[in-house]
Amino acid sequence: MTPRKITRTRQNSPARAARPAGNGKGASANASSKTAVQTAAKGAKNGRKASAPLAPGRISAILDILAQTYPGVECALHHRNAWELLVATILSAQCTDARVNMVTPALFKKFPSPEDFARAPLPEIEEMIRSTGFYHNKAKSLSGAAKTLIEEFGGKVPQTMAELLRLPGVARKTANVVLGVAFGIAEGIVVDTHVLRLSRRLELTSATDAPRVEQDLTKIIPRDRWIAFSHELIHHGRQVCIARKPRCIDCTLEKLCNSSDKTWGTTTGPTPAQKPAAPAKRG
Ligand code: SF4
């Protein structure tokens, strides 16, 4: 079936209501979330936007539904410590997490520490990470990050945004991943290609670049949800709200979504609750 766009005036949408992910957490959806979903659905039936996109009740409903749909979601990059996560995140640029996870076991076996990376000839690192793409630049970043870590931070991965940004190859997205996943520090929100796309589709921002999207999101998402929120959106973007053909029929957020990108007729597959995280490109 050829997917077709759904207009905002579409009647009788068969969109599904938010559903729990099967661990019982879904039953705890609060009354305000339900009200926001009901209000949004009513507005959609009337052929108009349901409510102000940034209304606190709507934001709260989106967060609740994401938490119910992806309970306990985690970073898909395999790592045993902050340094390995930093390396894996640098390698994940323009590459799937699955590919990175195929490369890192041998890489960490050959170069177990930042000192080993700092000593390694660039061609040796390049050869081991070639399949992740952009391997010349990535090898330089890994080598440079290891050297800076040793020279300026005693060989330990720093735990502040300002210090992490001093490492070659590390921008805010990578720093946010390391701070959030390795140290549980919510300094910002990870904005990769999925978070950017979904934040726009859900009208949480109108910005088109990652720094401004992050700024907008940090104003409307409670800080204690920053870390999980990005993981949840990334998983939703991989499994359901796919760039070219979003699977709106399977989307737990459908009743809250007014995106002109809505696509109806995309074939359904396993729901997020049934399917493990699929590999996807990181932005
Ligand atoms: S999958 Fe469809 S309904 Fe769900 S957030 Fe994406 S565009 Fe909106």
Give tens-digit pLDDT for 235-263: 999 999 999 999 999 999 999 999 999 99
**Measured CA distances, 132 to 102, 125, 275 (Å):** 10, 12, 25
Percent of the chain with pLDDT over 70: 76
Max distance between CA atoms of the chain, in angstroms, equals 65
The confidence score (pLDDT) of residue 37 equals 53
Which residue is closest in CA terms to ligand 1's atom 6?
241
Domain 82-183 CATH superfamily: Hypothetical protein; domain 2 (1.10.340.30)
Identify the band that residue 22 occupies on the pLDDT scale cut at 50, 70 and 90: very low
Read off the pLDDT of each residue in 153-170 and give the average, rounded to a whole number: 97
The confidence score (pLDDT) of residue 213 equals 98
Read off the pLDDT of each residue in 72-100 and give the average, rounded to a whole number: 96
The confidence score (pLDDT) of residue 34 equals 54
Atom of ligand 1 nearest to the CA of 258: 8
The confidence score (pLDDT) of residue 249 equals 95
How many angstroms separate the CA atoms of 90 and 85, rounded? 9
Read off the pLDDT of each residue in 217-228 and give the average, rounded to a whole number: 98
Beta strands 4-5 and 263-264: pairing type? Answer: antiparallel
The confidence score (pLDDT) of residue 280 equals 43
Mutate which of 5, 251, 255, 261 to test ligand 1's pocket (most atoms within 8 Å of Cβ)?
A: 251
Q: How far is the CA of 7 from the centre of ligand 1 (A)?
A: 12
Read off the pTM. Answer: 0.80
Identify the band that residue 51 occupies on the pLDDT scale cut at 50, 70 and 90: low
Q: How far is the CA of 24 from the centre of ligand 1 (A)?
A: 24
More confident residue, 198 or 8: 198
The confidence score (pLDDT) of residue 60 equals 98
The confidence score (pLDDT) of residue 120 equals 98
Q: Please list every protein residue whose CB sits less than 6 Å from any atom of ligand 1.
A: 201-202, 240-241, 246-248, 251, 253-254, 257, 259, 261-262
Question: Is there a contact between 245 and 57 (Cβ–Cβ < 8 Å)?
Answer: no
Residue 39 has pLDDT above 60, yes or no: no
**Measured CA distances, 168 to 139, 163, 184, 250 (Å):** 10, 11, 22, 40
SS3 at position 96: strand
Please state the φ and ψ torsions of residue 281, each to the nearest 5 degrees: -70, 145
The confidence score (pLDDT) of residue 264 equals 83
Query: Which CB contacts under 8 angstroms, 24+ apart, belong to 21-29?
Result: 21/68, 21/69, 21/70, 21/71, 21/272, 21/273, 22/273, 23/71, 25/67, 25/68, 25/71, 26/68, 28/68, 29/64, 29/65, 29/68
DSSP codes joined into one string, 111-127: S-SHHHHHHS-HHHHHH
Atom of ligand 1 nearest to the CA of 257: 8
The single residue of 192, 250, 255, 262 carrying the catalytic annotation is 192
The confidence score (pLDDT) of residue 271 equals 54
Identify the band that residue 269 occupies on the pLDDT scale cut at 50, 70 and 90: low
More confident residue, 238 or 36: 238
Which residue is closest in CA terms to ligand 1's atom 8?
257
Which residues sit opposite 4 in a β-bridge?
264
Question: Is there a contact between 234 and 69 (Cβ–Cβ < 8 Å)?
Answer: no
Is residue 192 part of the annotated active site? The answer reads yes
Is residue 224 part of the annotated active site? The answer reads no
What would the pLDDT profile of 93-144 be if each residue is shown by its tens digit? 999 999 999 999 999 999 999 999 999 999 999 999 999 999 999 999 999 9
The single residue of 64, 97, 138, 173 carrying the catalytic annotation is 173
How many angstroms separate the CA atoms of 262 and 217, rounded? 22
The confidence score (pLDDT) of residue 5 equals 52
Mutate which of 254, 258, 266, 271 to test ligand 1's pocket (most atoms within 8 Å of Cβ)?
A: 254
Q: Which two tokens stand for residue 105?
A: 């076991």
Identify the band that residue 202 occupies on the pLDDT scale cut at 50, 70 and 90: very high
Which residues sit opposite 281 in a β-bridge?
96
- Out of 42-46, 61-65, 197-201, 240-244, pick the least confident: 42-46
Of 210, 220, 213, 157, the residue nearest 185 (C-alpha): 157
Domain definitions of the chain by residue range: 82-183
